[in-house]
Amino acid sequence: MKNLEDIRHEYIDFDGEWYQAFGRPEKSGCWIIYGKSGQGKSSFALQLARKLDEMGMRVLYLTLEMGGSTDFLESVRDVGMRSDINRIIFSDDTTFEDLDEYLGKQRSADVIIIDSVQYFTDQCGVKADEIISLRKKYPRKVFIFISHVDGKEVEGQAAYRVKRDSFKRIYVQGFKATFVGRGKGGPRGFFIIWAKGYQEYHLKNIEINGTEEEHQEAD
């Protein structure tokens, strides 16, 4: 018990709607954001990056899939990011070795957002074991992976292993990001990404199915 009591934990001191959704998560470990395309994953990840940046955390956003495409730039603008306000570093190219070397430097990012875990493993040749080892090597950093899904589960064995290693799991559906991870989230447990899109999606779903569809977490 004494060993556990002596462990010092640092927390992300969320406030407002972020606290309501996710509480005060630790400044460490692995998170995964997953859901179908077109439901708000990228917008949510960008809003999260902006919030963490505004809280004084250094954020590296690896936009491996979309790069510097027009669609991605529009998404960045849509969430209110501007170069004269936000200090987020965006990069569309990396290797496991490059990322490892960068994270070993002083004043490297506190939060690393990778879009997507499938691209990182399939196109960059990174294995799930390497991702987990990186998380263990840098225990004071937060690694956030965005994942495609097959049905309602993350797509691919590597992504599934990353999900199993993630204490914060956030499922995105109909512009609503729901905390489904281990441990304790916020009092409300969800975050509305885009109010108008959320209302339209869920009203349509109720009209078709008679009720809102909820995500059931499987481990």
One pLDDT digit (tens) per residue for the chain, 219 residues: 666 555 678 999 999 999 999 999 999 999 999 999 999 999 999 999 999 999 999 999 999 998 888 999 999 999 999 888 899 999 998 999 999 999 999 999 999 999 999 999 999 999 999 999 999 999 999 999 999 999 989 999 999 999 999 989 999 999 999 999 777 799 999 999 999 999 999 888 776 666 655 665 655
Strands 59-63 and 149-150: unpaired
Q: Could you give the CA distance from residue 51 to residue 45 in angstroms, rounded to a whole number? A: 10
Cβ distance 123 to 116 under 8 Å?
Answer: no
Kind and range of the H or E element at 191?
Answer: strand 190-192
Exposure of 209 by Cβ count < 10 A (0-12 exposed, 13-18 middle, 19+ buried)? exposed
Which one-letter amino acid corresponds to residue 97?
A: E
> What is the DSSP code (8-state) at residue 89?
E
pLDDT of res. 112: 98
Q: Could you give the CA distance from residue 103 to residue 119 in angstroms, rounded to a whole number? A: 20
Q: What is the pTM of this model?
A: 0.91
pLDDT of res. 173: 94
> Helices 70-78 and 41-54: crossing angle, nearest 10°?
50
pLDDT of res. 83: 86
